[in-house]
Every structure is written in structure tokens, then in C-alpha cells.
Amino acid sequence: MKKWRYDSARDLDQAPLDRLRQFPREPDMLVYGLRSLCALIIRGLLHVYNRFEIIGHENLRTNRSLVIVANHCSHLDTLCLLAALPLRKLHRAFPAAASDYFFRSVHRVWAAAVLVNALPFGRDAHVRKSLSLCQELLAKPGTILIIFPEGTRSTTGDVGEFKSGIGALVAGRDVAVVPCFVEGSFRAWPKGRHFPRPKKVRLIVGAPRNYRSRTADKIDIGAIASELRKAVSELRLTNGSH
């Protein structure tokens, strides 16, 4: 009789919390089921409570890998961007989340890893490692990376400087970069508040861009970052009137 080969999960010896902290994680169908269920509930709540609206939805309809770049002033931003994706793509969408904030306390780790499928991103240390992890993910077709290049939630509601890391990630790669603007999330759920308010939130999705012809030198990646910042800010001004 031939021996059976058991393809065990690689993290059997790790405590549950450490299992959630690592990346890539090895979830079973219970996690996928719970995430899909919560996503449905969150979508329903966004639509009812925040009268959520998406403009330019067609810009997200592709099966190729995507980098979604958006402004950031609220936890709602991530939820809105995820709500704009079809449910079947949810488990291939990874919002980059600060590992020093989201991957510390138990409930944040749980929410980040199970609910939003976050990618732990080292914003102070291991930036290079995190970026190469993102690039590995993008190499697989159908990956969706959600990145807030400001690196933190804005406390004024304005779009802050974009870190050049976003440029390094997309320069010279044949990957669609979709600028997005989340409007109203600052009023609905600013940094420091415990619960969101029932204010209207709107997601404006811009046209995809491509930076495959650019080089990854320092000047170019800085330029890409500011171009993307401009693209995101302009979405706010045009207000989806295109």
C-alpha cells in the first residue's frame, strides 16, 4: 500500500494569536465563511447607516491584479473599499495594515486578520520586507492590494503626503493602479472616536493607471507618489462628475 501524504498546515505548533499574526496565513473554510458573512453585514450597514454610494464602480471590474490607492482618514475607508469588491474576490484582497497598530492587541489582530484579511505592513521597520511581500502577492493574478500611501489616518480630513514606497511598489510593473477617494468618512468616523456616525459616505473610483514604463530610481518613485496623490485629490474635486 502506498503511504498517504498529509499536507498539514504549516503553523500547527503556533498559538492561535501568532497564527493570525503571520503572513501568509493558512485559514480554513470557517474563517472564509465568517469573513464573507461579516462582509455582507458590513455592506448592509454601510448602505443603510452611511447611505454608502460608489461612483466609477466599473473601474474595478477586472480579473487582473490591482493596487488600490486611496486617501485615509478613517477605519471606514478600508471597509468601503472592500465593500466595492465582489464577494468572491474578498479573500484575495489584502489591505496593508500597520503591523505596529493592527497586529498588537488581541481584538485588533483578530479584526485585521479574520475580518479584513489585512497584510501586516511594517511602516517603521522592515519596510523593504513588507514591500517585497506585496510584490510577491501582486505576481499572482487576481490579487488586490489596498494601500493607503499616507501611512496613517489623517486628522484633518485632507489628503496628506504620499510615501514614496507606493512608487517603489508599482514602478516598472505591469499592474493596474486604481486611485480612489473616500469622501465623508472623516465626518462619519474620524480618528479617536469609538463608533461611526450616520453620515453619508461616498467612494469615488478613478480610472486605472499603469507605471510599467517607469524606473524604480529615487526621483521616479517620488514622482509617481505625488502623481498618485494628485490623482486621488482630483477625484475629490471632480466629485465623480466624469
Asked if 124 is part of the footprint of other proteins (rule: CB under 8 A), the reply reads no
Indicate the pairing of strand 144-147 with strand 66-70: parallel
Stretch near other proteins under the rule CB under 8 A, chosen from 23-31, 73-81, 189-197, 224-232: 23-31
Stretch near other proteins under the rule CB under 8 A, chosen from 24-32, 48-56, 103-111, 234-242: 24-32
Asked if 8 is part of the footprint of other proteins (rule: CB under 8 A), the reply reads yes
The residues, any chain, with a CB within 8 Å of residue 107's CB and separated by 6 or more, are none
Nearest to 150 by CA among 225, 202, 94: 225
Asked if 4 is part of the footprint of other proteins (rule: CB under 8 A), the reply reads yes
Q: In a 3-state reduction of DSSP, which class is residue 89?
A: helix
User: What minimum distance in Å lies between the beta carbon of 36 and other proteins?
Assistant: 12
Count of chain residues binding other proteins (CB under 8 A): 16
Residue closer to other proteins, measured from CB, 8 or 63? 8
Cα–Cα distance for residue pair 31/145, rounded to 1 Å: 20
Nearest to 92 by CA among 66, 71, 59: 66
By CB under 8 A, what part of segment 27-46 binds other proteins? 28-30, 32
Q: For residue 128, what is the enclosing H or E element?
A: helix 127-139
Q: Which residues bind other proteins (CB under 8 A)?
A: 4-9, 12-16, 26, 28-30, 32
